[in-house]
Amino acid sequence: MNRIALEFVPPTVEGGVDRVKENAQKLRELSRSFGMEDRVNSLVIPGMIDEDDDRPVPMQPRMDPLDVWKAAAPELPGLQGLCTQVTSFLDADQLQFRFQNLLEAGIEGVVFVGVPRTMTDGDGDGVSPTDALARFQEQVPHRGVILIPTRADEIERFGFKCEQGATFALTQLLFSDSIVRFLADFADRYPHRPEILLSFGYVPQVETRLKIIQWLIQDPGNPIAEKEQAFVRRLAEWNLKEKKPLLLDLYRRIVDGVRERGFPLGVHFETPYGFSKPAFDLFAEMLDYWAPGD
């Protein structure tokens, strides 16, 4: 599939199904207004966990992605569903039951996620993402992992995940063209060519106060990540007319740099502060430049 996905953040438990339907209707209206209605073909629903306790905005209990999908799918007919699943806190039997429920509800692919960055790899009493990739190959045909191209030793980490059975990767939000060199180097070292979903996001001015995007891409001590955070801070201070050319240029540089590397490519659009007209305006222009399948 030439995947064009939008992230659909679960509302708070208090908001419930009514808020899911409200957000789905807003997504549909904005997609129609900016000519994206027949182009977007997937939703990505992240599983949000309480362990993310260092967030700049306090974490409130969120709906389960499965319940979100069941409520959103009737409002958005024709869209495929992807979700993220933290594996590290569930044992093998619990994960098997979980995946069965997700697939029976129509979820088409699952991104296997480990412990949050406030914990150490290997923490948790459940199954690590790499072990889950191998264990559930027959049950989950479309198995994803998170790809952070700026992270140290990520080429080896990603290569191992592919060897364990990953079929696609969802990148962290991209605010530099580091992914271009990353995929070039990966292609030189490994034969695997999983689908790569390139993630792009709109940076509204509220980011100057809340700093959620800077938190999402943080990697203390990593100079590349720090440059990306500085870029986000600069974008947040400007209006749409000023910031849109920079984000479009970033999109062009990335897709021009990676689309000849032999990887199936998709795009994944994120709006961490909620769906908005400026965000869809930007995403529509990005797709006008290049869209999967062009």
Angle at 203 between CA 19 and CA 250, to 5 degrees: 130
In a domain, 86, yes or no: yes
In a domain, 159, yes or no: yes
Question: How confident is the model over 68-93, as a mean pLDDT?
Answer: 96
pLDDT of residue 58: 79
In a domain, 85, yes or no: yes
Does residue 16 register a pLDDT over 90?
A: yes
Tell me the pLDDT tens digit for each residue of 155-185.
999 999 999 999 999 999 999 999 999 999 9
In a domain, 294, yes or no: no
Tell me the pLDDT tens digit for each residue of 192-215.
999 999 999 999 999 999 999 999
Count: domains in the chain: 1
Does residue 122 register a pLDDT over 90?
A: no
Question: How confident is the model over 60-83, as a mean pLDDT?
Answer: 96
pLDDT of residue 114: 83
In a domain, 258, yes or no: yes
33 is in which domain, residue-wise? 4-289
Look up the CATH number of the domain holding residue 144. Answer: 3.20.20.220
pLDDT of residue 229: 98
Only one residue has tokens 């292609």, namely 187
In a domain, 52, yes or no: yes
pTM above 0.85, yes or no: yes
Rounded-to-integer distance, Cα 232 and Cα 204, Å: 10
Rounded-to-integer distance, Cα 172 and Cα 7, Å: 12
User: Do 77 and 24 meet the contact criterion of CB atoms below 8 Å apart?
Assistant: no
pLDDT of residue 173: 98
In a domain, 177, yes or no: yes
In a domain, 269, yes or no: yes
Tell me the pLDDT tens digit for each residue of 48-62.
876 556 778 877 889
